[in-house]
Chain A
Amino acid sequence: MTELIPASAQPALEARAVAVTYAGGVRALDGVDLAVAAGETVALVGESGSGKSTLLRLFNRTVEPSAGEVLVGGEPVAGRDPVALRRGIGYVPQEGGLIPHWTVRRNVELVPRLEGWERGRRRERARAALALVGLDPESFGGRHPRALSGGQRQRVAIARALAADPPVVLLDEPFGALDALTRRALQDEFLALERRLGKTMLLVTHDLDEAFRLGHRVAVLKDGRIRQVAPPAELAARPADDYVRSLLDRRRAGGAG
């Protein structure tokens, strides 16, 4: 898949020598460089506390760097209005984060509504986004989130992230809370979407299998640093260090989890 990446283009997402230190002196990220090309999907993989979610959240400014620079679409995010920035970036959290007292339709229309789109256009986009994730807009649009299964809720969350058609989507362990079968089905659909939509995507997962399946490239994080960034095949063939090798060994031992 590496040949899909246009090598000359400006990165859609870029972190340059970024460090994040939380209050109390905890260093979440320590000198991280990462560039994601337009249309590329990069999977960030690592253990809890490795800094992968922190890195993801730098790009929509829900976390601020204490050093270094973060760019989206070639522009530093530091000078931009966070609200406007976020409306141009899709976001899918682990537990869906759907608004419980809003219907599915209203949840999906969130960003178009924030952007002030008129009603007909909103409805149209919501319908399309729901259809995209395999949910029938007519039968699901009027339900509340608690009437959905976990997998359905994550589909809605993805539809919500795509509704305003942003060029970039951030996914923070989007399938982490699902059972294995549902996760597998959603991963397959995600792959289809990935190909069809050509969005730039940054995906956080603790599951190396998922990272290998969904990412054009995989970035392995450990203790706030990136150990290796490479396409899955290359990573498997030439792990950069013992840590990456141990991850690969565990994956083989654990089977296709």
Chain B
Amino acid sequence: MSRARTDAGGGRRRARRTRARRAGPTREGPEGMPSPLRAAARRTARGISLALLGALALVPLAVGAGGAGAAAADAPAQGSTGRIVVGSKNFEESRLLAELFAQLLEARTGLAVERRLGLAGTQVCFEALRGGAIDLYPEYTGTGLASILGAEPKPGPEGDAAATLALVRREFLARWDLHWLAPLGFENAYEIAVPRRLAEARGLASISDLARAAGDLRAVLGYEFVERADGLPGLAAAYGLEFASVQPMQQALKYRAVAAGEADVLDVYTTDGRLASHDLVVLADDRGFFPPYQAAPLVRGAALAEHPEIAAALSLLAGALDAETMRGLNLRLQEGREEEPAVARDALAALGLAGDAPAAARDSAAGEGFGAYLWRRRAQLAARTGEHLALSAGALLLGVLAAVPLGLALERRRNAAEPIIRAVALTQTVPSLALLAFMIPLLGVGPLPALVALWIYSLFPILRNTYTGVRDADPDAVAAVLALGMTERRALAEIRLPLAAPVIMAGVRTAAVITVGTATLAAFIGAGGLGEPIVTGLQLADTRMILSGAVPAALLALAVDTALALLERRLRPPGID
């Protein structure tokens, strides 16, 4: 396999582009540092959300130990030596590096380490870091340059690895007080690859060769690569590249498509373990289009000032990992179906840095049935279900508390009602993932922004049904009791609300199903829940893992709906059909 380039490299699928990304860092510029006020507000908000989650987990909703345990694990109660939060993006290598950092910090410092792995990409991670919701995460210099700073990669020596690192170090420090620690020793770049037999048949060694042959070749490319300036648009312009077809596709599926002969060209990452296992040839970036992507820990200045031992511990990884090592480690995650804690522990042991990290169960994948798989992961699943339920129930409860009074108020001011209800209806049209992403700059990552986003989703069905339910509740009877001297307030409490209860409950049920379903996306911003195995499973194209989140989530939605249907029946007043 001909590996071309060191200074040319690709990026990462740093998550989907969300709209929040554009509203993100560039808007605020150098003065966008988190103010003490904002930090204080955030801490308070987080405290409230944790308290709420904790309280909700105790609600006797069949959560059991899972919910309470999950909430307790979130509580910042781990002693007085300090606590830091390690984040990662939602792909294997990022998770693995974050786990490595976490284990190393646990072994070498007295800090309690909280993990928020699998955040939905560069934008979410970066915002979380800038806002202080996480203290560090693994990032790549080229991504810092192109995606976060929005700078054009420079060809030649001005754009080499050292110059790029120097540039992002300077800018991140000046703008946000964020520190790039020593690079880990490998780059993980975008590259273009083709199957070996195709390379041999067509004489392809470089991207320039590919440009000449591309007219009848089919490309499968990552979603983000298709969009990014340092992805296909720039590459096509630099090389005059025009494929017969371009199909955006999820990472793991691209490999399958090429292996099945349904596509000819794909974008890959330098350290992807599947490069070796799929017999692919990486084409040389002979015009030096891709910027360098050195991996390094990106850390908040405030965290470093408070805990200088972070830098000392992580410096042990400086230059310690080469691309070959990373390919091997990634392959264990990608195809060996192993989990990050075990792989990270082995990697630290190989580097002579192993501490007494907690042993993680090995995933003995082969031949295991789905039932056995679920049973082995029951503790995680119970915790995830608890988180999921707490999040959904919290959002729904807050939705009822807000939307029912609002619906009643609007019913008394009917002129204002329709515009306001329509405005609330608009929230339903915002894509869930985008809404979650909007929350990041405001509320950071974790359960609180997810709770708020889900709460917003729950409002409309409850509001609409409360308003129409009360408005249409037997107007003849209401007019009669008012004419006989019942007060408006009493008529509302004793007649209109009871009569509207079935309609309101129908709205609550709709909101509940939406909330439980949407809560699976909360994993993208580090709020946990049953979306966690779905997101990770999608990353690994591991159907079993996806199902281990999707099936319980569906069952949960069904159970919640059934429970609310029973409640609805109890609330239905007598004498009504």
Cα-based distance from A140 to B99 in the complex (angstroms) = 73
Look across to chain B and name the residue whose beta carbon is closest to the beta carbon of A98. B477
Asked, given contacts A84-B485, A111-B485, A114-B486, whether A101 binds B574 with beta carbons under 8 Å apart, the answer is: yes
Q: How many cross-chain pairs have Cβ atoms below 8 Å apart between A and B?
A: 74
Q: Which of B481, B482, B485, B574 has the most chain A CB atoms inside 10 A of its CB?
A: B485
A-side contacts of B482, CB under 8 Å = 62, 86
B-side contacts of A144, CB under 8 Å = 574-575
Cα-based distance from A54 to B576 in the complex (angstroms) = 31
B-side contacts of A90, CB under 8 Å = 484
B498 near A101 with CB under 8 A, answer yes
> Can you offer 7 A-B residue contacts whose CB atoms are under 8 A?
A82-B485, A95-B476, A100-B573, A101-B495, A114-B484, A114-B490, A146-B576
Option from B480, B495, B574 in Cβ contact (under 8 Å) with A91: B480
- Nearest CB in chain B: distance from A57 CB, A: 8
Contact with A along B242-261 (1 / 0, CB 8 A): 00000000000000000000
B-side contacts of A110, CB under 8 Å = 481, 484, 486
Q: Indicate if B499 sits at the interface (CB-CB under 8 A).
A: yes
Look across to chain B and name the residue whose beta carbon is closest to the beta carbon of A95. B476
Q: Indicate if A22 sits at the interface (CB-CB under 8 A).
A: no
B499 near A86 with CB under 8 A, answer no
B-side contacts of A101, CB under 8 Å = 495, 498-499, 573-576
Q: Which residues of A contact B (CB under 8 A)?
A: 57, 60, 62, 82-88, 90-91, 93, 95-103, 110-111, 114, 144-147, 157, 160-161
- Nearest CB in chain B: distance from A92 CB, A: 8
Asked, given contacts A101-B574, A144-B575, whether A91 binds B499 with beta carbons under 8 Å apart, the answer is: no
Q: Which of A96, A97, A144, A160 has the most chain B CB atoms inside 10 A of its CB?
A: A97
B575 near A145 with CB under 8 A, answer yes
- Nearest CB in chain B: distance from A9 CB, A: 26
Q: Indicate if B360 sits at the interface (CB-CB under 8 A).
A: no
A93 near B479 with CB under 8 A, answer yes
Look across to chain B and name the residue whose beta carbon is closest to the beta carbon of A91. B483
Q: Which residues of B contact A (CB under 8 A)?
A: 474, 476-477, 479-487, 490, 495, 498-499, 573-577
B476 near A102 with CB under 8 A, answer no
Q: Given A96-B476, A110-B484, A114-B485, 12 more contacts at CB 8 Å? A: A60-B483, A62-B479, A82-B485, A84-B485, A85-B485, A87-B484, A91-B483, A100-B575, A101-B495, A111-B484, A111-B485, A157-B480
Option from B474, B485, B490, B574 in Cβ contact (under 8 Å) with A87: B485
Look across to chain B and name the residue whose beta carbon is closest to the beta carbon of A86. B485
Cα-based distance from A85 to B479 in the complex (angstroms) = 16
Asked, given contacts A100-B499, A101-B498, A101-B499, whether A93 binds B480 with beta carbons under 8 Å apart, the answer is: yes
B484 near A160 with CB under 8 A, answer yes
B-side contacts of A114, CB under 8 Å = 484-486, 490
Option from A60, A83, A88, A98 in Cβ contact (under 8 Å) with B487: A83
Cα-based distance from A232 to B490 in the complex (angstroms) = 42
Look across to chain B and name the residue whose beta carbon is closest to the beta carbon of A144. B575
B-side contacts of A157, CB under 8 Å = 480
Asked, given contacts A60-B483, A84-B485, whether A93 binds B476 with beta carbons under 8 Å apart, the answer is: yes
Look across to chain B and name the residue whose beta carbon is closest to the beta carbon of A102. B575
Look across to chain B and name the residue whose beta carbon is closest to the beta carbon of A99. B477
Look across to chain B and name the residue whose beta carbon is closest to the beta carbon of A83. B485
Cα-based distance from A144 to B498 in the complex (angstroms) = 15
B485 near A97 with CB under 8 A, answer no
Cα-based distance from A111 to B481 in the complex (angstroms) = 9
A-side contacts of B476, CB under 8 Å = 93, 95-97
B483 near A93 with CB under 8 A, answer yes
A99 near B495 with CB under 8 A, answer yes
B576 near A100 with CB under 8 A, answer yes
B-side contacts of A97, CB under 8 Å = 476-477, 479-481
In order of increasing CB-CB distance, the 4 nearest A-B pairs are A97-B480, A144-B575, A101-B573, A87-B485
B-side contacts of A160, CB under 8 Å = 484
Cα-based distance from A101 to B576 in the complex (angstroms) = 6
B-side contacts of A60, CB under 8 Å = 483
Look across to chain A and name the residue whose beta carbon is closest to the beta carbon of B483. A91
Cα-based distance from A96 to B487 in the complex (angstroms) = 19
A-side contacts of B499, CB under 8 Å = 100-101
Q: Which of B476, B483, B490 has the most chain A CB atoms inside 10 A of its CB?
A: B483
B-side contacts of A96, CB under 8 Å = 476, 480
Cα-based distance from A103 to B576 in the complex (angstroms) = 11
- Nearest CB in chain B: distance from A202 CB, A: 13
Look across to chain B and name the residue whose beta carbon is closest to the beta carbon of A85. B485
A-side contacts of B576, CB under 8 Å = 100-101, 146
Look across to chain B and name the residue whose beta carbon is closest to the beta carbon of A62. B483
Cα-based distance from A95 to B476 in the complex (angstroms) = 7
Asked, given contacts A98-B477, A99-B477, A99-B495, whether A86 binds B575 with beta carbons under 8 Å apart, the answer is: no
